[in-house]
Amino acid sequence: LVAQYGDACNLGGDDLDVLQHKLDVLKGHCETVGRDYDEVVRSTGLDPDARAIP
């Protein structure tokens, strides 16, 4: 839905690999519907105490 109708999305989670996967999925959906991936504002909220952050 974001790829087709959204202006922005906030992807949560503390695992950077999972976050990258979600961004890759969004990029694929954008390509499918003919949307420029860079038009979608992307944000996330990472826990500063998360172990995923080196």
Q: Is residue 49 part of a domain?
A: no
Q: How many domains does the chain have?
A: 1
Please give the pLDDT value at position 45: 82
**Does a structural domain hold residue 50?**
no
What pLDDT, in 10s, does the model give residues 3-54? 999 999 999 877 888 889 999 999 999 999 999 999 999 998 876 666 655 5
One-letter amino acid of 46: L
- pLDDT at residue 52 in the model: 56
Domain for residue 48, yes or no? Answer: no
Please indicate, yes or no, if residue 28 is contained in any of the structural domains.
Answer: yes
- pLDDT value at residue 43: 93
Range of the domain at 27: 2-43
Tell me if 25 is assigned to some domain: yes
Distance CA(5)–CA(53), nearest Å, equals 32
Question: What residue has token string 């087709």?
Answer: 4
